[in-house]
Structure 1
Amino acid sequence: KSSDILKSTRGMSIVRKYNKVAYVLVKFEVLYHKAWTKEISTMKYVLQATLLIRDQETEKMYSNFDHRILEILREAKCMLKMDLEVPELAKRLLKTEQMLKTNSNNLEVHCI
């Protein structure tokens, strides 16, 4: 029986190891979430950056879209799926996700 396996010395040892791993993973999740939330608060300046920059020598225009914005969108979705708190800035970005992706793609296409 499976209950007999868990009651054995080896089974109890495995359960203890499993619980230790689970504890470490939860602790990591909490630390990662805290650091992520702090990082989001520093991203305001990224949203205020100029989207197009001109090369002084060639006069060619380049996209200055920061792809960390798209990374924030992906991570915010994951945090929400895990029922974790998401900063207001990330929530606002999620509401404009499609527009941000479209604009990013348009900038890349037209600035090549």
Structure 2
Amino acid sequence: MNAEPVGSASTGASGDPAGDVVRWAVFSCLLVPVVLVVYGSSFAGAVGSAVGLTAVTAVCRLLLRRSERAAAEERALRSVVAQSRRVRPAPAGHRGGRHGGARTPQE
């Protein structure tokens, strides 16, 4: 029986999905120019494509990290609000329920 947690390094999945996306994007930034040159594109065109892909990757990485920070802050805020809203038992004299017939509605 395998005792490793789901998402561990041996399964190939990391706990950082944004990091995985960025790693694949960097790999593509390196691979695309090579493929372009191999299939007959000019070296300058391949370098231009690499620069453009690198710029797009950098902006996407920035936006992903900013989004992750905002989501973490939102989760933390919701956690604090949820903890402050927890129902506390009322004192014995204020528990509600039916009161002994002192006030009944008039028909």
TM-score, reference length from structure 2? 0.37
| Bigger share in strand | 1
Q: Higher RCO, 1 or 2 (CA under 8 Å, sep at least 6)?
A: 1
TM-score, reference length from structure 1? 0.36
